[in-house]
Structure 1
Amino acid sequence: MSQTQQQPQYPPFQPQQPQRAARNGLGTAALILGIIGALSGLIPIMFWLAGILGVIALILGLSGRGRAKRGEATNKGVALAGALLGLVSLGLSVFGAYTTFKAVDDAVDEINKSVSDTGAKGTDKAGKDDKGSGAKDEAPAKGKALDAGDSVIYDDDLTITVSNAVTWNPSEYAAGHTKGNHAYKVTVTVENKTKAKFDSTLLTAEARAGKDGVDAEQIFDDKVGTGFSGSILPGKKATVVYGFDAPADAKNLTVEVSPSFEYDATHWDLKL
């Protein structure tokens, strides 16, 4: 009997498929753009560039991470780093925008304040001239005081008038009066011709007496020296009487009125 020799069986040959190259471009691009965006965000004025690059880096980083999860890319960590740097760039962009706009607003406010502070008119207004007209006089020379009864009109039309100094005898309960000195009453009138109410509590009045400019102490006696209170509505006016103590030999009283820190102070030279 003959035996049949069995031939060994081999699995069918399968051709080896070529390995696909890793698609790491998105993750690498995200990392580069994220780094540039974060560096740009360190400069507040470059907030716009940091914001744009941050958005792109975030999108590319998340897309690259998705590729890595599907096995199409091998740089999962790089893509994640790019996405995180994109978030950092966006945060720096928001902070830079806030800082830049705030700096611009502050600069504009300072310019407006400077213009307001230097724009006070030195125009004085006499009650009436020799012909009885109510025309405004020319502005007094710089460094010179106004006369009694004259008015100063500021740029916003706030008008302040100081009357002549009038002698009076303070009561025995008056504060600020020294025996042997003369007491004078000065009336200050504020007319609010602006479009907004004026906080009159900020107004201050001080005085100096004589050629040596000795401080004239303010006298408080009943309603004299109480100062303004509350606000003055547009189109309204308010009047307050101040009292000042001056040496007996003083020939003049220089009164300085400051409406508030937003206005320049104005001086009146009152003859005693």
Structure 2
Amino acid sequence: MSHQVYGQTPPPAGPYGQPPVPQQAARNGLGVAALVLGVIGALSGLIPLFFWLAGILGVLALIFGLVGRGRAKRGQATNKGIATTGAVLGLVSLILSVVGLVITVNAVDDAVDEIDKALQETPAEKKADTGAADDKGAGTDTEKKSETFAAGDTAVYDGDIEVTVSKPTAYTPNEYAVGHSAGNKAYKVTVRIQNKGAEKYSADLFTIEARAGESGTNAEEIFDGDTLGNGFSGSVLPGKTATAEYAFDAPADAKNLDVEVSPGFDFEDNTWELEL
């Protein structure tokens, strides 16, 4: 005869009484990370200078997205669509990164070329003119690479403005001339301006100065009558030429006359070394 003890619960019989096994949590982290990195990478790729950031984020987004898709296929994750979108945005970021790199490299190359061009350009191209600087015509111009100009040389300025200074010739000022000192010699030069550009050139700001001798003594400009000392005025139209004569007072023993020409505020000064 069996006895049952009250107050005690008998153990469950058989395997059906075991507790259920808990489900594993979804591993969606890589898919979300791929989406975030892909969005940031694509936005960065829209700015060419940030090509490097777009490239790094694009690689990470593509890798995380592909791994996230793999987890979703194995049932370890539930955000397959998000992971796929992140991988696609990663690929877009890589494409934008390459485009940005090409744009940046081309921009840098263009900037370097412009800087090199600016450094290589001189204020005035130097040419040797075989003709005289008068209305009788000029000879063929050939490139000259010296630092200064000689008689008959032509300087070409911005805007295709050409200036030529002739060889100095001695002359005798009249008794009413201003700027000539007794005992000194007087020399005159012919200056020619040719406008080979497309816009008119204002000659009102054209100035010329001279120094004579080894010591570089200031050579006073001589104003003599209606022709010497008046200089240029008005504008020189495209395709036109203007000529003026200048006279300078130099010591009797001077062997050279250095003439400095300034076509205006926007042009560099240049010097012609003339033998007397």
Per the normalisation by structure 2, the TM-score is 0.50
Q: CA deviation at 1:189?
A: 1.3
What SS is found at the alignment partner of 1:48?
helix
Cα 1:110–1:234 shift into 2, 3 Å:
farther
Q: Does 1:23 align with 2:28?
A: yes
The answer as to whether partners of 1:206 and 1:255 remain within 8 angstroms in 2 is yes
Q: CA deviation at 1:257?
A: 3.1
Equivalent residue runs for 1:190-229 within 5 Å = 190-195=193-198, 197-198=200-201, 200=203, 204-218=207-221
What is residue 116 of structure 2 aligned with on the other side? 111
Q: Does 1:250 align with 2:250?
A: no
Which of 114, 119, 125 lines up with 1:120 in the alignment?
Answer: 125
Q: CA deviation at 1:209?
A: 0.6
- Structure 1 distance, partners of 2:219, 2:27, is 91
Which of 140, 151, 154 lines up with 1:152 in the alignment?
Answer: 154
| Percent identity of equivalent pairs | 34
Cα 1:97–1:136 shift into 2, 3 Å:
closer
Cα 1:20–1:199 shift into 2, 3 Å:
farther
Q: CA deviation at 1:24?
A: 1.3
- Structure 1 distance, partners of 2:57, 2:207, is 55
Letter in 1 for 2:219: A
Letter in 2 for 1:21: A
Cα 1:258–1:30 shift into 2, 3 Å:
farther
- Structure 2 distance, partners of 1:55, 1:161, is 63
What SS is found at the alignment partner of 1:49?
helix
Indicate the structure (1 or 2) with the bigger Cα radius of gyration. Answer: 2
What is the aligned length? Answer: 220
Q: Deviations over 1:8-58 (max 9, x none)?
A: xxxxxxx88835414111343466679999999xxx996323345568999
Q: CA deviation at 1:210?
A: 1.9
What SS is found at the alignment partner of 1:117?
coil
Q: CA deviation at 1:269?
A: 0.8
Structure 2: where are the runs of 5+ without partners?
A: 1-19, 62-77, 80-95
Cα 1:244–1:55 shift into 2, 3 Å:
farther
What SS is found at the alignment partner of 1:211?
coil
Q: Deviations over 1:206-243 (max 9, x none)?
A: 32212333232556899966765665433112334445
Cα 1:27–1:138 shift into 2, 3 Å:
closer
- Structure 1 distance, partners of 2:148, 2:164, is 16
- Structure 2 distance, partners of 1:237, 1:114, is 31
Letter in 2 for 1:120: E
What SS is found at the alignment partner of 1:205?
strand
Cα 1:134–1:36 shift into 2, 3 Å:
closer
Equivalent residue runs for 1:32-181 within 5 Å = 47-51=50-54, 104-117=109-122, 120-127=125-132, 135-136=139-140, 142=146, 145-147=149-151, 150-152=152-154, 154=156, 158-163=161-166, 164-165=168-169, 166=171, 168=173, 177=179, 179-180=181-182
The answer as to whether partners of 1:30 and 1:56 remain within 8 angstroms in 2 is no
Q: Which stretch shows the higher mean deviation, 256-265 or 201-210?
A: 256-265
- Structure 2 distance, partners of 1:19, 1:234, is 87
Cα 1:217–1:223 shift into 2, 3 Å:
same
Letter in 2 for 1:238: A
- Structure 1 distance, partners of 2:108, 2:235, is 33
Q: CA RMSD in A?
A: 5.8
- Structure 2 distance, partners of 1:170, 1:27, is 100
Per the normalisation by structure 1, the TM-score is 0.50
What SS is found at the alignment partner of 1:208?
strand
The answer as to whether partners of 1:184 and 1:245 remain within 8 angstroms in 2 is yes
What SS is found at the alignment partner of 1:239?
strand
What SS is found at the alignment partner of 1:21?
coil
Cα 1:250–1:266 shift into 2, 3 Å:
closer
- Structure 1 distance, partners of 2:21, 2:144, is 103
Structure 1: where are the runs of 5+ without partners?
A: 1-14, 59-71, 74-89
